[in-house]
Structure 1
Amino acid sequence: MSTVGGELLGRPGTQVNLGGGAPVLPKDLTARSWIVADAESGDILAAHNAHWRLPPASTLKMLFADTVLPKFPRSETHKVLPSDLAGMGAGSSLVGIKEGESYTVHDLWLGVFLRSGNDAVHVLSAMNHGVGQTVRDMQAHAEELQALDTHVVSPDGYDEPGQVSSAYDLTLFARSGLQKKDFREYCSTVRTSFPGETTKKKGKTTRGSFEIQNTNRLLAGDFDVTPYRGIAGVKNGNTTNAGATFTGVAERNGRVLLVTVMNPEKKEHNEVYRETARLFDWGFGAAGKVRPVGELVAPKGAGTGGQAGGTGTSEGKGTGGGTGKAVAAPVKGGGSSGIGVALAVSGGVLLLLAAGVFLVNRRWPLPDLVRRRTRP
């Protein structure tokens, strides 16, 4: 395996350096690969086969979003052509885009993040000069981020021969994407309305809408999973070859952690979220009590005076200050209501939506990430 981020990360199996008072790792982890990292410092607290190359499923959409999101203002409208939806894999997850209908870029990204819609990915790829160009752009961006385990074949993460990534690389994608205001909004949205079909009746044209909910069960919950306290995204995936995959970001007591889990062997319903939650719990308990086993490296261009992340932000493309209907996960049992995103940045001025700014790390800032106290 690769040693990007540290020599220990190139070793097979679990890597952790427990210090005094540190909790032991959960004993019921079955994922083939996982990683727990501090989102701000980049320290990797523990990892298991961090650079093992595995099918990523729809977690690869984080790289797609980090690559393509800055290219189009959220207010831009696109009328869907039949060719835009060509080439999607059988059984693809869909948000329900219809040929001949028009959608804003904002609508399309909500479809990507909430419903993991491959149809939304293909429409945005068509706007970006096609799937082939988008794949090339994603591969180039992965290399810029030093995500060298990743080979992109399809922008939506659908199973394709040779398409692989790693827990390490997926964590890099999430960390880079979270530098972008719009990325943070979309990945933290629990539910919203999505445009439906246009109908004509008695000479009157109307267009309805329908509700979509985020398929990230640590954010939206499920009958057997409650929303994780402090969760704010990022992206889940599930395909035949990849199994279940997930990268999440959560905050507790001023510390922001990233956890990636790939393909638990235990095939219980929502197992990927249970193992992620256990790793979050361990990470928050172990922070400051373990010696890092590696680090999340910065992009190649991060030291050249450019913006952290190496790709700019969607704000720079005239996306405006609209907030859509993003909401943070509710909290049960008291305590912090978790984190959301700063959705009201205008003219470079940070508008705090609630109780204060997170720590800003000088090595790797997570700009204007704030707590919000809202409920879906």
Structure 2
Amino acid sequence: MTIGFSPRAIIFCCALSTVGALAFLAHFAVAGTGTGSAAPGPAASQQPLLYESDTQVRPRAGAPEVPNVSALSWVVADADSGKVLAAHDAHRPLPPASTLKTLFALTVLPTLPRDTQHTVTEQELAGIGPGSSLVGVREGHTYRVADLWRGVFLNSGNDAVHVLAALNGGVDTTVRKMQAKARALGALDTHVVTPDGYDAPGQVSSAYDLAVFGRAGLHDPDFARYCATAESTFPGDGGSYEIANTNRLLTGADGVAAYPGLIGIKNGYTSGAGNTLVAAARHGARTLVVTVMNPQEGGGFAVYEEARSLLDWGFSAAERVTPVGSLLPDRPPVAGSGPTTVPRTKPAQEDGDGAGWPDPGALAGAVGVGAGALVLALRLKGGRSTRG
């Protein structure tokens, strides 16, 4: 039996298949940006918001207003879950100053036993940038590794950083390992040039990445202990001398009121970076981590007051906002590689390869098949017979 279709019917069916394929493509293009009316998945609806340059927050009923702060970039996140409660220009690349020492500590702390004794050489103190913050490490003096870490966390001592980097294989090796650690944590905005955060061409991080480092540090007992230490002593030529943490939000020094429940992390300043701060505080069962980068108003201590207002807001708003993103990597780790070995990927609209997108070749093929069938049908309509 021969079954025939009219050329008009073939044209209609082929055109319908082409339109359907194009509509399919348009649907996913909208879903991938997180702006469509359909309910997108978490990767589409949350993570891309953190790449916006303005303030991102999703308040629910009764949520307090986000404070008006002047920092170029900031993040408020829950340290336990990693959920970002609010942010402003979170992925903006900026010089980090000494807050980059958080990444240095995450990289080097696990490799050096705290009770190791080391006598400092002249070479180890070479290359420290002029005007660097120092704790007073001296050539020929023997220090415990724990002493040097207190010099890093409390006095932000670049001299202590350089000695620890030497023990870790040298500055260049340490920089490479820091870069690898940042990628492993999903911190893709960070480019490391110096281990101590001293201004250098091309050295940048972001409020998002620094919050990632701060959160990771709280899960390292040594990091958490050092960053929460307000006062200690450091070995000197005539005996030990007192040192104090330069994080005024922890110590309450210089007229800055200490923040209740603060558990430290790290502050910084350079002429290129301005004032920067990663701070964490615990109220009850909740721990928040806040990053503030380069306030534009209020003087040198504004970074602490802006962090204070963001922490206050976060503790008040935590149960009344929908998270706008996460500090956790987007993709699960490769089997057998550990929990943080696969970098976080940028959203689909930036690199064209995000979760929820169909294969581009398949879409192109579907459209091409429909269009080709339409052309064939038009030719057949012009006088060629069909056979079934």
TM-score when normalising by structure 1: 0.77
Matched, 1:25 2:66: yes
- Alignment equivalent of 1:10, drawn from 32, 35, 51: 51
- Alpha-carbon distance change, 122 to 300 in structure 1, aligned in 2, over 3 angstroms: farther
Q: Which residue of 2 aligns with 1:97?
A: 137
Q: Matched residues in 1 for 2:195 and 2:57: separation?
A: 33
2:167 aligns with 127
Partners of 2:244 and 2:100 lie apart in 1 by 20
Equivalent residue in structure 2 for 1:159, among 190, 194, 199: 199
User: 2:209, 2:88 → 1: CA distance?
Assistant: 13
Superposed counterparts of 1:27-106, under 5 Å: 27=68, 29-106=69-146
Residues 148-227 of structure 1: matches in 2 within 5 Å?
Answer: 148-197=188-237, 207-227=238-258
Query: Over residues 144-178 of structure 1, what are the superposed CA-to-partner deviations in whole Å (9 max), with x where a residue is unaligned?
Result: 11100000000000000000000000011111121
SS at the partner of 2:290? strand
Summarize the Cα distance change of 1:94–1:255 in structure 2 as closer, same or farther, 3 Å threshold: same
- What is the CA distance between 1:267 and its match in structure 2? 4.2
What's the offset of the Cα at 1:39? 0.5
Report the alpha carbon displacement of residue 301 of structure 1 after superposing the two structures with TM.
Answer: 7.3
**SS in structure 2 at match of 1:146:** coil
Alpha-carbon distance between aligned partners in 2 of 1:192 and 1:164, rounded to the nearest angstrom = 31
| Candidates 297, 300, 303, aligned match of 1:272 | 303
Which is richer in helix? 2
3-12 vs 215-224, which deviates more?
3-12
Q: Where do residues 221-260 of structure 1 align in structure 2 (5 Å cutoff)?
A: 221-260=252-291
Structure 1 contact 179–309 (Cα < 8 Å) conserved = no
Query: Which residue identity is paired with 2:196?
Result: D
In the aligned structure 1, how far is the partner of 2:258 from the partner of 2:128?
A: 31
1:299 Cα deviation after fit: 8.7
Structure 2 match to 1:297: 328
Structure 1 CA distance, aligned partners of 2:119 and 2:298? 40
Segments of structure 2 that go 5 or more residues without pairing to the other structure are: 1-42, 342-388
Q: How many angstroms apart in 1 are the aligned matches of 2:264 and 2:313?
A: 18
Query: Which protein has the larger Cα radius of gyration, Structure 1 or Structure 2?
Result: 2
Distance 1:212 1:299, change over 3 A: farther
Give 1:147's aligned residue: 187
AA paired with 2:109?
L
Q: 1:163 to 1:279 in 2, by over 3 A?
A: same
**Cross-structure match for 1:349:** none
Q: How far apart are the structure 2 equivalents of 1:220 and 1:251?
A: 16
Separation in 1, partners of 2:214, 2:292: 13
> As a proportion of its length, which structure holds more strand?
1
Aligned partner of 2:38 in structure 1 is none
- 3-state secondary structure, aligned to 1:54: coil
Distance verdict in 2 for CA 1:306–1:192, change over 3 Å: farther
- Deviation of residue 128 (structure 1)? 1.1
Residue aligning to 2:30: none
**Residues of 1 paired with 2:263 and 2:339: CA distance?**
21
The offset of 1:223, in angstroms, is 3.0
Deviating 4+ runs (over 6 angstroms): none
**8 Å Cα contact 1:145-1:300 kept in structure 2:** no
- State the one-letter code of the partner of 1:15: Q
Task: Give the equivalent residue in structure 2 for 1:110.
Answer: 150
The 3 A distance-change label for structure 1 pair 166 and 145 is same
CA distance in structure 2 between the partners assigned to 1:179 and 1:241 by the alignment = 30
TM-score, structure 2 as length reference: 0.74
The CA distance in 1 between the partners of 2:339 and 2:243, in whole Å, is 32
- Write out per-residue CA displacement over residues 83-142 of structure 1, whole angstroms, 9 at most, x where no aligned residue: 000001000000000000010000000000000000000000111111000000000111
User: Compared with structure 1, are the counterparts of its residues 97 and 187 closer, same or farther at alpha carbon in structure 2 (3 Å cutoff)?
Assistant: same
CA distance in 2, matches of 1:306, 1:191: 39
Give the C-alpha shift of residue 305 in structure 1. Answer: 6.2
Provide the secondary structure at the position in 1 that maps to 2:311: helix
Letter in 1 for 2:273: A
Q: 2:248 touches 2:254 (CA, 8 Å); kept in 1? A: no
Shift of 1:253: 2.2
The alignment-based identity, stated in percent, is 56
State the one-letter code of the partner of 2:265.
V
